Chains A and B, each alone.
Chain A
Amino acid sequence: MTKIFLVEFSLRRPKLVLLLAALLTLVFLSQFPKMRTDTNPKHMLPDTSDVRVWNDKVDKTFALYEDTIVVGVENEVSAAGVLNPDTLGRLARITDAILLLDGVASRDVNGFTTITNVTAEAGTLKVGPLMPAAPKTAAEAKAFERTLFGNPLFVDRIISKDGKTTALYVPLEKGANGAEIAEKLRVIVAKEPGPERYYIAGDPVARDTFGAEMFKLMAIFSPIAGAIMFIAIQLMFRNLALSATMMGVSMVAIIWSMGLLIGVGFPVHIMSSMAPVFLMAIATDSIHIFNEFYFRYRERRGDQDAKLTAIRETMAAVNRPVRYTALATAAGFAVMLFMNIIPVQVFGGLIAFGTIVLRLLSFSFIPAVLTFVSEDKLKAAAEGAARDRLGPALGRLGAFGAARPGLTVAAVLVLAAISVWGMSKIHINNNLVSWFKADSEIRVADTAMNAALGGTSLGYLVVESIEPPPKSLLRGDLPPGGEETLGAARRVSSAPEFMKDPAAMRWIEGLQRHLEASKVVGKTFSVADYVKRINRVLHEDDAKFDAVPDTKDSVGQYLFLFSMSAKPSDLDNVVDPTFTKANVWVQMKTWDADAMRQVIAATAAYQTAHPLPVTVKPAGIAYFNLVWNEEVLGDLVLGFSLALAVVFVILALDFRSLKWALVAYTPLLFTILLIYGVVGFVGKDFDMPLSVMSTLSLGMAVDFAIHFVSRFRQRREEEGARETVAESLAWTAARPGKGIMRNALLFAAAFSVMMAAPLTPYMAVGAFIVAMMLLSALFTLLLLPALVMLGRRWLAVE
Chain B
Amino acid sequence: MKRWSVLLAALLLPIPALALTGEEAMKKSQAAFLYPGKDFKARVLMKLINRDGQERVRELTMLRRNVGAPGGEQKYFMVFFKPNDVKDMSFMTYKYPAKDDDRWMFIPAVNMVKRIAAQDKRSSFVGSDFTYEDVSGRDIEDDSHAIEREEKVGGRDCYVVKSTPKTGDADFGHKLTWVDKANFLPLKEEQYDRKGARYKEFSADEVAEVKGFPTVVRRTMKNLQTGHRTEVGYSKTDYNLGIDDSLFSERFLRQPPRKWVD
A interface list, Cβ under 8 A from B: 60, 63, 99-102, 105-107, 121, 123-129, 132, 173, 491-492, 497, 500, 538, 549, 551-558, 560-561, 563-568, 571, 577-578
Cβ-neighbour of B85 out of A106, A128, A492 (below 8 A): A492
**Contact B194–A564 (Cβ < 8 Å):** no
**Contact A125–B115 (Cβ < 8 Å):** yes
The contact sample of 22 A-B pairs, CB cut-off 8 A, is: A60-B52, A63-B226, A102-B195, A105-B225, A106-B194, A125-B114, A125-B115, A127-B116, A127-B123, A128-B119, A132-B119, A497-B84, A500-B85, A538-B112, A549-B109, A555-B85, A556-B84, A557-B85, A557-B86, A557-B89, A563-B124, A566-B123
Residues of B within 8 A of A558 (CB): 107, 109
Q: Number of contacts between A and B (CB, 8 Å)?
A: 114
Chain B 33-61 per-residue mask, 1 if CB under 8 angstroms from chain A, else 0: 00000000000000010111011100000
**Contact A567–B107 (Cβ < 8 Å):** no
**Contact B127–A538 (Cβ < 8 Å):** no
**Contact B117–A577 (Cβ < 8 Å):** no
Residues of B within 8 A of A557 (CB): 85-86, 89, 107-110
Cβ of B83 under 8 Å from chain A: yes
Residues of A within 8 A of B52 (CB): 60
Cβ of B125 under 8 Å from chain A: yes
B interface list, Cβ under 8 A from A: 48, 50-52, 54-56, 80, 83-86, 89, 91, 105, 107-110, 112, 114-117, 119-120, 123-127, 193-195, 225-226, 228
Complex-state Cα separation, A372 to B112, whole angstroms: 99
Complex-state Cα separation, A100 to B120, whole angstroms: 20
**Contact A565–B109 (Cβ < 8 Å):** no
Residues of B within 8 A of A126 (CB): 116-117, 119
Instruction: Name the residue of chain B whose CB is nearest to the CB of A565.
Output: B123
**Contact A100–B195 (Cβ < 8 Å):** yes
Known: A561-B105, A577-B54, A578-B54. A125 touches B116 (CB 8 A): yes
Residues of B within 8 A of A100 (CB): 194-195
Residues of B within 8 A of A552 (CB): 85
Instruction: Name the residue of chain A whose CB is nearest to the CB of B109.
Output: A554
Complex-state Cα separation, A556 to B86, whole angstroms: 7
With a 10 A CB-CB cut-off, give which of B51, B54, B85, B89 has the most chain A CB atoms. Answer: B85
Known: A105-B225, A491-B84, A571-B127. A124 touches B109 (CB 8 A): no
Residues of B within 8 A of A121 (CB): 117
**Contact A538–B85 (Cβ < 8 Å):** no
Task: Other than A125-B105, A564-B123, give 20 A-B pairs with Cβ distance below 8 A.
Answer: A101-B195, A106-B194, A107-B225, A124-B115, A124-B117, A125-B114, A125-B115, A126-B119, A128-B120, A549-B109, A553-B85, A555-B85, A556-B83, A556-B109, A557-B89, A557-B107, A558-B107, A563-B126, A565-B116, A577-B50
Instruction: Name the residue of chain A whose CB is nearest to the CB of B128.
Output: A568
Instruction: Name the residue of chain A whose CB is nearest to the CB of B118.
Output: A565
Cβ-neighbour of A568 out of B83, B89, B105, B228 (below 8 A): B228
**Contact B107–A538 (Cβ < 8 Å):** yes
Residues of B within 8 A of A101 (CB): 195
**Contact B85–A565 (Cβ < 8 Å):** no
With a 10 A CB-CB cut-off, give which of A106, A549, A555 has the most chain B CB atoms. Answer: A106
Complex-state Cα separation, A551 to B83, whole angstroms: 16
Cβ-neighbour of B109 out of A60, A553, A563, A577 (below 8 A): A553
Tell me the minimal C-beta distance from A705 to chain B in angstroms. Answer: 59
Residues of A within 8 A of B127 (CB): 560, 563-564, 568, 571
Tell me the minimal C-beta distance from B125 to chain A in angstroms. Answer: 7
Complex-state Cα separation, A100 to B85, whole angstroms: 39
**Contact B126–A564 (Cβ < 8 Å):** yes
**Contact A566–B110 (Cβ < 8 Å):** no
